[in-house]
Structure 1
Amino acid sequence: MNQLDALSLLNSVKEGSLTPEQALLRLRLEPFEDLGYAKVDHHRGLRQGAAEVIYGAGKTPEQIAGIVAAMLQHEERNILITRMSAEAATVVSEHCDLEYHPIPRVGLVRRVEEVTASGSIAVVSGGTSDLAVCEEAALTAEALGNRVERIYDVGVAGLHRLLAHLDRLMEAKVIIAVAGMEGALASVVGGLADCPVIAVPTSVGYGASFHGLSALLSMLNSCASGVSVVNIDNGFGAGYLASMINHMGGTTK
């Protein structure tokens, strides 16, 4: 919706032909922009509090660039692109100012570093091999206006490493626990912390880990209270959910 459309809608409310509730419904339901290969939802932020996120896998570099261009036309900030290849990053960077993180394969366009929630999110990893998923979660949370604490390589094989950061865990409003292998980290963190824990199983591990299925089942069967689980390697989903929880107590503005 452009400014003229918005002005027309407001005038309709002023003249009494639309009630404020009807106008609000119109704003929530429209519009989107049809690019042929994608329908860009420009009112995602109005409905859900955050702009549409671009899933890069399976899209051509030109398609990603076109979606980004459409979002920039609507003055979107912190445009997040997940699972983005280096090839796509090269193409997109020719059209806009792209900040690309190769390990998690995350791109950010028109990044504005702004914290809008009073609490913090801790991202905790079992090992360095989980780093890509951790950074996807951390960068997602940061793009959505959160302060993120990174506590990496503190798996249960050396529990003293985790306990050395217990004060940082206790200060967090939400914790994202990322681990592969048997996925025990989430249960340990859930038994120590007094805040929600979002467990992220990763596909890291030997054959019997079944590409993350073992960690997923372990986390789903956790006896620690307050632990919820997202899909295997879904750092984005964890970061987004953590941001929603962190903003529930109000924003800094």
Structure 2
Amino acid sequence: MAAILQVENLYGGYFLGKPILHDLSFSVNPGEMIGLIGLNGAGKSTTIKHLLGLLQPQRGEIRISGRRSSREEPAYRSQLAYVPEAPELYAELTIREHLRLSAMVYGLEEAEFERRMQRLSEQFQMRDKLNSFPQQLSKGMKQKVMIMCAFLVEPPLYIIDEPFLGLDPLSMRSLLELMVDRKQEGASLLISSHILSTIEKYCDRYIVLHQGRSIASGTLSELKKQAGVGSADTLEDTFFALIGEGGQ
């Protein structure tokens, strides 16, 4: 089975010669949900910026569906959708127009756009907000718009950064159900989150970043063996054992 996302020996950061990421390698397969976990400053956001093509590798390479951002940027970007930690919306566009813009960028036909928009707006209790502007929405509603825009286009890969911040419990459940549905349909998901108790129930494998390096990866059972903890320990227990209680 060919990986949807392949990261090989990645060194990268914001300044040449001063990498934040060191020899990072991992893959995400079709129908797989991977948790990217680490403390603040571990390199999660830097990794995501490289995956999005906002930063170019200093060494190593990244491929999505076999494409590289440096050589096939439009085709590369068409393979992924991104949900950022903080919602970023255009003040002059309604929610419906945000969704339509996403559909246009990904070449979604009008009839399919309408069908998906209606389904998502119902799922996230946003049907009566489609003609509203961002300034009329709460932070949680703005986050739901970002989620709807990403899941509207149904790409092979989703990159999701702290998706649960600002969401109410019902919206969190809707998002998790949506991620499971897309996973079952063969999509790949890479999720960065500090809410380990939630992603523990959904992710197939994990990548533990610490000080810009992958210090452990694998299933929860495999992480527990690497950490030397018991089988009854949680992902959070395992994470702290791997990085050390002091995070050093």
Q: TM-score, normalised by structure 2?
A: 0.28
Select the structure that is richer in helix. 1
TM-score, with structure 1 as normaliser: 0.28
Greater RCO (Cα-Cα under 8 Å, separation 6 or more): 2
Higher-Rg structure is 1
